[in-house]
Amino acid sequence: MNKYLIAGTGKQVRQKIQFRDSLSRERISIVVTVYNIESYLPRCLETISKQTYQNLEIILVDDGSKDSSSSICDEFAKEDHRAKVIHQQNAGLKHSTRKKTS
């Protein structure tokens, strides 16, 4: 755990610590639209998984890939409990980014 020295009055210090603590509990969703990107996908997923912020939800929307991108997504989701994969027929970027999860 990192320790920080926060300069300011006692009240300002408490407010900054409360803000930092509340932010660390917030869940951040990362949506990755996937369509035939097998050569780039492993590095992308590796980069996301190595983030220091751990309260992540990783949503991979496979938009009907015809290469091995779909199976790469499935394997990643098996290894990282934060990841969810949505497989759909090719609908384009606009529709893929609007896909909702339950």
Q: Please, what are the domains in the chain?
A: 27-97 (3.90.550.10)
pLDDT at 2: 40
pLDDT < 70 positions in the chain: 1-24, 92-102
pLDDT at 23: 59
pLDDT at 14: 54
pLDDT at 6: 42
CA distance 5 to 46: 32
3-state SS track over 42-101: HHHHHHHHCCCCCCEEEEEEEECCCCCHHHHHHHHHHHCCCEEEEEECCCCHHHHHCCCC
pLDDT at 74: 98
pLDDT at 8: 43
Structure tokens given for 12:
């300002």
pLDDT at 1: 41
DSSP 8-state symbol, 39: T
pLDDT at 79: 96
Structure tokens given for 72:
């790469």
